[in-house]
């Protein structure tokens, strides 16, 4: 255990704040492992708590698992559950975690430097010479001053990652629709994917189609719903799975009960977690920490998420901050984040009704942060009512596409690729475009 420094009270508060912040948001342990050692803590209980935290996989950090880690080290009497719970209060008030982490490390380095120099001037038998102590101090500080893994990646390491990626089996996550997988490629871990449309076009239906495809293949899904309850989402999943219209799922429709019961049994087995109680960026992050396998995250929809910090004067800044945090979450946890987004009314003012990237609502940062942007629109005049057009308008890791028609049964919420037996959507002609222009004019 190291000796306390002159800032003992503030030092203890800082240590408690960092430890509590990790308990509140366990993925913070990743950066802390790069920077901290036991020597950065000045009291044995906090030093031992840090060792216990560092021994637990970040995703698995919870109060109970930390208590278990302390017990494994024989330190079960150092911290009680109530003391750890109280420590989280200190973690919630830490202003900037990164700044606190850097401050804690800097204080530890200063204590180490002071210890080396005090040994040199003590004049005690066996004490190092001033020159030896200075060289030892420089070597120690140099070893800790190397760039941490959170700040940079050597190019050789990146080359190795690319070689491993080329040699490994395909790592992409297909969503089960050729109009998306075949055209723009499967989604990659770390991707932020925006699915954008005007209201009632089919964003939620497409998101649930993707969730159903993934869950049927036992891939975990975290669905953050800011508009509908979990029960409402399940009704939609059951309708699409059973091929039964939403209207037929009413209690008085006994004919549809057997198919619905079978679909309910299937849905109950799916690894889907629904966050429907006012989800926030923090609750999504906590759901990822608690999970055992990297899930696909679906946010329905982005503009309804509370921003990390309120700025009533500028809604664009708030939405941009949400987009940045979702992208950071995708990268930090190596998951795919699919966020639904609204388009502005400008789409409806154009003759062809075809959405564009510039129609993304509330912030230009949405386009900047997203790895892929998928735009949805209804079919043209003369098209069957079951047409849903899908266009990959931005793709950071692959090609973009022209609009591709999907089959969308609005009564059952079923979306799939179109088949040869489906009615072929009409191709817009100069006459239909001219007629639409004349109508809108």
Number of CB atoms found within 10 A of residue 225's CB: 21
Would you put residue 278 in left (φ > 0), alpha (ψ -120 to 50) or beta? left
Please state, in angstroms and rounded to a whole number, the distance separating the CA atoms of residues 352 and 165.
41
Please state, in angstroms and rounded to a whole number, the distance separating the CA atoms of residues 337 and 189.
8
Q: Tell me: the pLDDT tens digits for 295-310?
A: 899 998 898 998 876 6
**What one-character-per-residue DSSP string does 281-294 give?**
HHHHHHHHHH-SS-
416 DSSP β-pair partners: 407
Tell me the three state secondary structure of residue 364.
Answer: coil
Tell me the three state secondary structure of residue 324.
Answer: helix
Q: Tell me: the pLDDT tens digits for 26-37?
A: 888 888 887 888
- Give the helix, strand, coil percentages of the chain, each rounded to 5: 50, 15, 35
Please state, in angstroms and rounded to a whole number, the distance separating the CA atoms of residues 279 and 288.
13
Q: Tell me: the pLDDT tens digits for 74-125?
A: 898 889 888 888 888 777 655 678 788 888 888 888 887 777 677 666 655 5
Q: How far is CA 395 from CA 161, 310, 349, 384, 435, in A?
A: 21, 30, 26, 29, 33
Tell me which residue has tokens 């049927």. Answer: 216
Q: Domains in the chain and their CATH numbers?
A: 8-145 (1.10.860.10), 178-440 (3.40.50.300)
**What one-character-per-residue DSSP string does 286-355 give?**
HHHHH-SS--EEEEE-GGGSPPSS--TT-HHHHHHHHHHHHHHHHHHHT-EEEEEEEB-GGGGGSSS---
Which has the closest alpha carbon to 250: 238, 268, 262?
238
Q: Tell me: the pLDDT tens digits for 124-151?
A: 555 556 666 666 666 655 555 544 444 5
Q: What pLDDT does 287 receive? A: 83
Q: CA dihedral defined by 298, 300, 303, 309, rounded to 10 degrees?
A: -60
User: Using the 8-state DSSP alphabet, how is residue 274 labeled?
Assistant: E
Q: What is the pLDDT along the chain (441 residues), one digit of tens a residue?
A: 444 444 477 888 889 989 998 988 888 888 888 788 888 899 999 999 999 998 888 878 888 889 989 998 889 888 988 888 888 877 765 567 878 888 888 888 888 777 767 766 665 555 556 666 666 666 655 555 544 444 566 787 677 767 766 666 666 888 989 888 887 788 988 899 999 998 889 999 999 999 999 999 989 999 999 989 999 999 999 989 988 888 877 776 666 678 888 888 999 999 999 999 888 888 888 888 776 667 899 998 898 998 876 655 677 888 888 898 899 888 878 899 999 998 888 777 777 778 888 888 776 778 888 999 999 988 776 777 888 999 999 998 888 888 888 999 988 889 998 887 666 555 555 555 444 444 433
- Give phi and psi for 185, each to the nearest 5: 95, 155
Please state, in angstroms and rounded to a whole number, the distance separating the CA atoms of residues 156 and 142.
22
Tell me which residue has tokens 């191709």. Answer: 427
Is omega for the bond preceding 57 within 30 degrees of 0, making it cis? Answer: no
Please state, in angstroms and rounded to a whole number, the distance separating the CA atoms of residues 93 and 20.
9
């Amino acid at each position: 255990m190291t000796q306390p420094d002159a800032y003992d009270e503030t030092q203890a508060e800082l240590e408690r704040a960092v430890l509590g912040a990790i308990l509140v948001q366990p993925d913070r342990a990743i950066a802390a492992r790069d920077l901290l050692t036991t020597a950065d803590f000045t009291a044995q209980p906090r030093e031992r708590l840090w060792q216990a935290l560092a021994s637990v996989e970040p995703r698995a950090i919870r109060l109970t698992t930390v208590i278990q880690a302390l017990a494994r080290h024989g330190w079960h009497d150092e911290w009680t559950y109530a003391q750890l719970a109280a420590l989280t209060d200190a973690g919630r008030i830490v202003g900037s975690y990164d700044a606190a982490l850097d401050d804690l490390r800097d204080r530890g380095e200063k204590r180490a430097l002071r210890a080396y120099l005090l040994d040199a001037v003590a004049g005690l038998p066996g004490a190092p010479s001033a020159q030896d102590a200075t060289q030892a101090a420089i070597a120690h500080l140099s070893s800790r001053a190397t760039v941490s893994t959170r700040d940079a990646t050597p190019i050789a390491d990146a080359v190795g990652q690319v070689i491993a990626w080329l040699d490994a089996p395909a790592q992409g996550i297909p969503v089960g629709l050729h109009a998306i997988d075949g055209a723009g490629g499967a989604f990659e871990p770390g991707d932020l994917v925006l699915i954008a449309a005007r209201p009632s076009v089919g964003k939620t239906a497409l998101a649930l189609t993707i969730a159903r495809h993934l869950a049927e293949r036992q891939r975990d899904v975290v669905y953050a719903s800011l508009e509908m309850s979990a029960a409402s989402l399940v009704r939609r999943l059951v309708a699409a799975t059973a091929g039964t219209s939403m209207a037929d799922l009413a209690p008085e429709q006994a004919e549809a009960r057997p198919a619905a019961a079978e679909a309910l049994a299937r849905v109950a087995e799916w690894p889907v977690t629904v966050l429907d109680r006012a989800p926030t960026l923090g609750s999504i992050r906590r759901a990822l920490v608690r999970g055992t396998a990297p899930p696909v995250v679906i946010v329905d929809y982005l503009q309804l998420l509370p921003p990390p910090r309120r700025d009533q004067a500028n809604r664009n800044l708030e939405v941009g901050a949400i987009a940045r945090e979702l992208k950071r979450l995708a990268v930090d946890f190596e998951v795919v984040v699919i966020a639904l987004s609204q388009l502005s009314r400008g789409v409806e003012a154009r003759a062809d009704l075809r959405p564009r990237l510039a129609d993304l609502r509330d912030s230009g940062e949405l386009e900047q942060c997203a790895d892929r942007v998928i735009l949805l629109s209804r079919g043209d005049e003369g098209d069957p009512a079951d047409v849903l057009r899908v266009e990959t308008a931005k793709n950071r890791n692959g090609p973009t596409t022209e609009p591709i028609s999907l089959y969308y049964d609005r009564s059952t919420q079923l979306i799939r690729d179109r088949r040869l037996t489906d009615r072929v959507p009409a191709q817009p002609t100069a006459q239909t475009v001219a007629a639409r222009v004349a109508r809108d004019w």
